[in-house]
A and B are shown apart, each in its own frame.
Chain A
C-alpha cells in the first residue's frame, strides 16, 4: 500500500513565523501535491511537483513556497505565517502521467496560526 506521511497532525505557530510542513511518500511516485482544505471550499491546490527540483504553482500559491530536493519528500513552506493561513493542509502523491492513477493522500496537518 502507498504510504504518504505528513510530519505533524496538529501544529500551532505564531504570526510571522516561518513554518515548514513535511511530506514523505514511500512508493517512488513522480508527482507530489500540496492542498489546503477549508470548510465550504473543498480542496484547493497550492503547489505541485512532477519531478525532483521541479515545481509548479497551483491555484493559490501566494504566501507559500515548496521544496523538492529528493523524490520522496515534498516540503511546504509558509515564509511568514499569517492568520488566514490557518487551515487543514493535505499532501498527496501519484504515479507518473497515467490518466487513471489516483492521488494518495496523507492524514493531513491542522495548522493554527495565532
Chain B
C-alpha cells in the first residue's frame, strides 16, 4: 500500500497567488516526521519544510507552510505569493522513527507558475 500519496500530478497557479499541494500518508507509528522537497528542472532536491507528528503548531518557513491535519493523515504544502521560480516538482516524504532515518517519498506534483 502507498505510504505517501500525492494525487495531483500537475498544478497550475498564477503568479502572486497561493497554491496548496496535497499529501496524505499512511502509518501506524505514532512517531513520524513529514518533509517537503522541491526539485527544479536542474535536478537537485531542495529541503523546504518539516513537520513532526507531535508538533502542536503547523510548520512555517517563509512563504511555505504546512497544513497538518493529523486525524486526516494529511500534510498539505501551502505556497503563498507564488513566484515564477516556484515552478518545479514537489515531493512529500515521511520518516517513521523505527526505520533508521529512511524516507518514503510520494510520486510528486509538478507545479507550473504562470504570468
Contact = CB atoms under 8 A, between A and B. Distances in A.
Interface of A: 9, 31, 33, 35, 40-45, 48, 50, 56, 58, 88, 90, 92, 94, 97, 99-108, 110
Contacts of B97: 99
A48 B101 CA distance: 9
Contact of B107 (A42, A58, A110): A42
Contact of A100 (B46, B50, B91): B50
Interface string B59-72: 00000000000000
B23 to A, nearest CB: 12
Nearest to B54: A99
Among A41, A44, A102, the one with the most B-chain Cβ atoms within 10 Å of its Cβ is: A102
Interface residues of B, number: 27
Interface of B: 4, 9, 31, 33, 35, 37, 42-47, 50, 52, 91, 93, 95, 97, 100-108
A106 to B, nearest CB: 7
Given A43-B91, A102-B35, A107-B44, A50 B107 contact: no
A107 B100 contact: no
A42 B110 CA distance: 12
Given A42-B107, A100-B33, A101-B101, A106 B50 contact: no
A17 B48 CA distance: 37
Given A92-B45, A102-B50, A50 B100 contact: yes
Contacts of B43: 9, 88, 107-108, 110
B42 A48 contact: no
Contacts of A58: 102
B102 A108 contact: no
Contacts of B95: 99
Contacts of B33: 99-100
A48 B100 contact: yes
Contact of A97 (B37, B44, B47, B101): B101
A25 to B, nearest CB: 14
A107 B105 contact: no
